[in-house]
Structure 1
Protein backbone atom coordinates (compact mmCIF):
# COMPACT_ATOMS: atom_id res chain seq x y z
CA UNK A 1 0.00 0.00 0.00
CA UNK A 2 2.78 2.42 0.83
CA UNK A 3 4.53 1.72 -2.47
CA UNK A 4 1.27 2.20 -4.37
CA UNK A 5 0.63 5.48 -2.55
CA UNK A 6 4.09 6.80 -3.30
CA UNK A 7 3.90 5.76 -6.93
CA UNK A 8 0.39 6.93 -7.87
CA UNK A 9 -0.45 9.73 -5.47
CA UNK A 10 -0.29 13.42 -6.32
CA UNK A 11 0.77 14.21 -2.77
CA UNK A 12 3.96 12.39 -1.85
CA UNK A 13 4.33 13.50 1.73
CA UNK A 14 5.45 10.91 4.25
CA UNK A 15 3.06 12.40 6.84
CA UNK A 16 0.12 12.03 4.46
CA UNK A 17 0.93 8.37 3.92
CA UNK A 18 1.28 7.76 7.67
CA UNK A 19 -2.02 9.51 8.41
CA UNK A 20 -3.67 7.37 5.74
CA UNK A 21 -2.26 4.14 7.19
CA UNK A 22 -3.12 4.81 10.87
CA UNK A 23 -6.82 3.85 10.58
CA UNK A 24 -5.91 0.60 8.82
CA UNK A 25 -3.34 -0.20 11.50
CA UNK A 26 -5.78 0.51 14.33
CA UNK A 27 -8.49 -1.64 12.74
CA UNK A 28 -5.96 -4.43 12.23
CA UNK A 29 -4.91 -4.19 15.90
CA UNK A 30 -8.52 -4.17 17.06
CA UNK A 31 -9.41 -7.18 14.90
CA UNK A 32 -6.51 -9.30 16.16
CA UNK A 33 -7.21 -8.29 19.76
CA UNK A 34 -10.85 -9.35 19.44
CA UNK A 35 -9.76 -12.62 17.83
CA UNK A 36 -7.27 -13.32 20.64
CA UNK A 37 -9.82 -12.58 23.38
CA UNK A 38 -12.45 -14.76 21.69
CA UNK A 39 -9.93 -17.58 21.26
CA UNK A 40 -8.94 -17.34 24.92
CA UNK A 41 -12.52 -17.12 26.22
CA UNK A 42 -13.59 -20.16 24.19
CA UNK A 43 -10.67 -22.15 25.58
CA UNK A 44 -9.44 -23.28 22.20
CA UNK A 45 -5.91 -24.69 22.05
CA UNK A 46 -3.12 -22.59 20.57
CA UNK A 47 -1.51 -25.68 19.07
CA UNK A 48 -1.48 -29.45 19.33
CA UNK A 49 -1.93 -30.37 23.00
CA UNK A 50 -1.16 -26.79 24.09
CA UNK A 51 -3.84 -24.92 26.02
CA UNK A 52 -3.66 -21.38 27.35
CA UNK A 53 -3.80 -21.60 31.13
CA UNK A 54 -3.07 -18.87 33.63
Structure 2
Protein backbone atom coordinates (compact mmCIF):
# COMPACT_ATOMS: atom_id res chain seq x y z
CA UNK A 1 0.00 0.00 0.00
CA UNK A 2 1.30 3.43 -0.93
CA UNK A 3 1.15 6.00 1.86
CA UNK A 4 0.22 9.62 1.29
CA UNK A 5 2.11 12.53 2.80
CA UNK A 6 0.13 15.56 3.90
CA UNK A 7 1.35 18.93 5.05
CA UNK A 8 -1.12 20.79 7.23
CA UNK A 9 -0.56 24.41 8.07
CA UNK A 10 -2.13 26.03 11.11
CA UNK A 11 -4.00 28.51 8.91
CA UNK A 12 -5.15 28.54 5.30
CA UNK A 13 -6.53 31.32 3.14
CA UNK A 14 -9.19 30.46 0.59
CA UNK A 15 -10.69 33.31 -1.40
CA UNK A 16 -9.34 35.80 1.16
CA UNK A 17 -11.06 34.00 4.04
CA UNK A 18 -9.00 32.72 6.96
CA UNK A 19 -9.50 29.14 8.07
CA UNK A 20 -7.90 27.84 11.24
CA UNK A 21 -6.65 24.26 11.37
CA UNK A 22 -8.92 21.95 13.33
CA UNK A 23 -7.57 18.43 13.96
CA UNK A 24 -11.07 16.97 14.40
CA UNK A 25 -12.20 18.25 11.01
CA UNK A 26 -8.95 17.04 9.44
CA UNK A 27 -9.52 13.55 10.86
CA UNK A 28 -13.10 13.61 9.69
CA UNK A 29 -12.03 14.47 6.13
CA UNK A 30 -9.45 11.70 6.29
CA UNK A 31 -12.10 9.14 7.28
CA UNK A 32 -14.39 10.37 4.52
CA UNK A 33 -11.58 9.98 1.96
CA UNK A 34 -10.74 6.49 3.23
CA UNK A 35 -14.37 5.34 3.35
CA UNK A 36 -14.33 4.71 7.11
CA UNK A 37 -17.13 7.18 7.82
CA UNK A 38 -18.53 7.65 11.32
CA UNK A 39 -21.75 9.38 12.35
CA UNK A 40 -19.77 12.38 13.63
CA UNK A 41 -18.34 12.83 10.10
CA UNK A 42 -21.83 13.07 8.63
CA UNK A 43 -22.78 15.59 11.32
CA UNK A 44 -19.65 17.63 10.53
CA UNK A 45 -20.47 17.68 6.80
CA UNK A 46 -24.06 18.76 7.52
CA UNK A 47 -22.77 21.54 9.77
CA UNK A 48 -20.31 22.73 7.12
CA UNK A 49 -23.04 22.68 4.46
CA UNK A 50 -25.42 24.76 6.58
CA UNK A 51 -22.62 27.16 7.48
CA UNK A 52 -21.92 27.66 3.76
CA UNK A 53 -25.61 28.26 3.05
CA UNK A 54 -25.79 30.88 5.82
CA UNK A 55 -22.72 32.67 4.47
CA UNK A 56 -24.30 32.75 1.01
CA UNK A 57 -27.60 34.05 2.36
CA UNK A 58 -25.93 36.60 4.66
CA UNK A 59 -22.59 37.59 3.09
CA UNK A 60 -22.07 40.59 5.41
Q: What TM-score results when the alignment is normalised by the length of structure 1?
A: 0.40
Name the structure with the higher strand share. Answer: 2
